[in-house]
Amino acid sequence: MGILKFKSHLSKLPSLLFRNNNLHTSKTFLKFNLLSANYCSGNPLQLQVWKMYEVRHTFKKIKPINVHLSNASQTLKLHPTWLRDHCRCPDCYNAVTYQRKNDILKLNEHSTISAHSQSDGLLHVLWSDGHKSIYSIPWLISNTYEGRCRTQEEEANRLITWDGSMGNLPSLEPILYHNAMHDDNTLSEIYRRVIQYGFVQIEQVPSTEIDTKMIIERVCRMSRTVFGKFWETGTNFDHMDTGYLNGYLEAHTDNTYFTEAQGFLVFHCTHFNGKGGESFLVDGFHVAKQLKQLDPIAYDYLSKANITAEYIEPGEHFSSGGAILRHDPVSHQLEQIRFNMLDRAPLTSVPQSEVGTFYRHLRTLAMLVRQKENEYWFRLSPGTVMVIDNWRLLHGRNSYEGKRVLRGCYYSRSDFMSKARHYGIIL
């Protein structure tokens, strides 16, 4: 009924709407109204349509004026609507809550620049409605699409990827528990190392549950998952996961079956009495670089093909899909490797006509992951807490005999990155 009503009012719209030479815009607009009609069946439809016409018309009228920002090295063109939307004056932005106050539907009426000037690193804009905005030019540059892409590229270039020898990593002062607990610079250094190298070790941590929890919480809040908040393997078999058993564990990332895999893993082996059980890490971003060089078609395929993983235990069935190599949608930088061959669900995301290609590319990646040269072997021992980037590093372990108590937790990506951003490690 709503759609019929909508159609009956359509003829009353001004002919200007239908003279629009941009057919695509016009179609999108009509589609949007059709949706509005369905969702707002209780409202007077004519009003809805006219309101949308007004908004669309207002957008059409505005001519973009480019503002050229110059400093020694760069020039940037800014659109007036973007500028007005990014005004940080008290009328437009709440500096206490860090939230915008402006109204998106009124934005374009206010986006005509009457005058602008630059001085002392500031851009002054006088708007046609008399509103005045002052912007810091470095802030403007770093908060545009162009600036953001450049920053993300710089951040990606700062990552130091490594092979199993870790030969290219600088020799670093050990991070000690006492300093990490009491000194913010040490804390900041923990975030820096995790971001740059994919892991950090914190030494001289007392091997008790309480001290392990204290250092864990000092770095970041623990995340609660199906495995609980603070977990312990080696003493219980609460969960139906290979990690809780004592066999060999091949290199993998965790949580490929979550819609968002936990960002970071924390391990503290608080007790070991037996044989074997050595751990190893593989830098997934290093492997990805190798794949890109060796077989760019495989790299491209595994960046797009969807692979579903699952985790099942009594009362639970997690399932989630995604590319093995996930990239940032804006900067296209590699953001995550999702590699867990054990947790793969039935392959329903690839047509049978394509499975040959899929397995060929997956094998190429798996072969690189298995290269002995890419594995960094070490022993997790009481006193050393390790934080690992689960979106970048793969972890594995030798089989063992005897008693091995491994405690730890996950940090969500959002929580840890928030800390790293707060400390200025990332933007």
The distance of closest approach from Cβ of residue 99 to Zn ion in the complex, given in angstroms and rounded to an integer, is: 14
Please say which residue, 189 or 254, places its beta carbon nearer to Fe ion.
254
Written as one letter, the residue type at 388 is I
Point out which span in 179-187, 222-230, 243-251, 311-319 binds Fe ion (CB under 5 A): 243-251
- For 120-205, list the strands marked E by DSSP: 122-127, 132-136, 175-176, 199-203
The span from the CA of 67 to the CA of 112, in Å, is 12
Q: Tell me which of Zn ion, Fe ion, none is bound by residue 87, counting a contact when its beta carbon lies within the kind-specific cut-off of 5 to 8 angstroms.
A: Zn ion
The span from the CA of 381 to the CA of 384, in Å, is 6
* Long-range pairs for 84-92: beta carbons < 8 A, 24 or more residues apart: 84/110, 84/111, 84/127, 84/133, 86/135, 86/140, 86/143, 87/131, 87/133, 87/135, 88/133, 88/135, 89/131, 89/132, 89/133, 89/134, 91/131, 92/133
For residue 81, give the 3-state DSSP assignment: helix
The distance of closest approach from Cβ of residue 43 to Zn ion in the complex, given in angstroms and rounded to an integer, is: 32
- Residue 254 as a binder of Fe ion (CB under 5 A): the answer is yes
> Minimal CB distance to Fe ion: which residue?
254
Closest CA relative to residue 362, chosen from 324, 322, 309, 391: 324
The distance of closest approach from Cβ of residue 89 to Zn ion in the complex, given in angstroms and rounded to an integer, is: 3
The site map against Zn ion for 266-305 (x = CB under 5 A) is ----------------------------------------
Subset of 126-145 contacting Fe ion (CB under 5 A): none
Q: For 13-90, where are the alpha helices, taking DSSP H only?
A: 15-18, 23-39, 45-61, 80-85
- Residue 126 as a binder of Zn ion (CB under 5 A): the answer is no
- Residue 250 as a binder of Fe ion (CB under 5 A): the answer is no
Closest CA relative to residue 65, chosen from 137, 134, 132, 113: 113
The distance of closest approach from Cβ of residue 233 to Fe ion in the complex, given in angstroms and rounded to an integer, is: 10
- Residue 113 as a binder of Zn ion (CB under 5 A): the answer is no
Start-to-end CA distance of the chain, whole Å, equals 50
According to DSSP, the β-strands at 199-203 and 175-176 are: parallel
The count of residues interacting with Zn ion (CB under 5 A) is 4
The distance of closest approach from Cβ of residue 396 to Fe ion in the complex, given in angstroms and rounded to an integer, is: 8
The distance of closest approach from Cβ of residue 100 to Zn ion in the complex, given in angstroms and rounded to an integer, is: 10
Point out which span in 97-105, 173-181, 254-262, 361-369 binds Fe ion (CB under 5 A): 254-262
Q: Which residues contact 323 (CB under 8 A, 6 or more apart)?
A: 302, 303, 304, 305, 306, 307, 338
- Residue 13 as a binder of Zn ion (CB under 5 A): the answer is no
Please say which residue, 76 or 92, places its beta carbon nearer to Zn ion.
92
Please say which residue, 10 or 134, places its beta carbon nearer to Zn ion.
134
Q: Which residues contact 263 (CB under 8 A, 6 or more apart)?
A: 389, 390, 391, 410, 411, 412, 413, 414, 415, 416, 417
The site map against Zn ion for 64-103 (x = CB under 5 A) is -----------------------x-x-xx-----------
| 25 to 6, 32, 105, 321, 343: CA distances (angstroms) | 19, 10, 18, 33, 45
Subset of 307-336 contacting Fe ion (CB under 5 A): none
Q: Tell me which of Fe ion, Zn ion, none is bound by residue 334, counting a contact when its beta carbon lies within the kind-specific cut-off of 5 to 8 angstroms.
A: none
Q: Tell me which of Fe ion, Zn ion, none is bound by residue 254, counting a contact when its beta carbon lies within the kind-specific cut-off of 5 to 8 angstroms.
A: Fe ion
Subset of 332-351 contacting Fe ion (CB under 5 A): none
Q: Tell me which of Fe ion, Zn ion, none is bound by residue 169, counting a contact when its beta carbon lies within the kind-specific cut-off of 5 to 8 angstroms.
A: none
- Residue 125 as a binder of Zn ion (CB under 5 A): the answer is no
Point out which span in 150-158, 164-172, 242-250, 303-311 binds Fe ion (CB under 5 A): 242-250
Please say which residue, 29 or 339, places its beta carbon nearer to Fe ion.
339
Q: What is the DSSP string of 207-259?
A: SSHHHHHHHHHHHS--B-BTTBSEEEESS---S--GGGSSS-EEEE-S-TTSS
Look at the chain and count its residues. Answer: 427
- Residue 202 as a binder of Zn ion (CB under 5 A): the answer is no
Q: Are residues 309 and 319 in contact, defined by beta-carbon separation less than 8 angstroms? A: yes
Q: Tell me which of Zn ion, Fe ion, none is bound by residue 276, counting a contact when its beta carbon lies within the kind-specific cut-off of 5 to 8 angstroms.
A: none
The distance of closest approach from Cβ of residue 101 to Zn ion in the complex, given in angstroms and rounded to an integer, is: 9
The count of residues interacting with Fe ion (CB under 5 A) is 2
Residues at the site binding Fe ion, with contacts judged by CB under 5 A = 243, 254
Residues at the site binding Zn ion, with contacts judged by CB under 5 A = 87, 89, 91-92
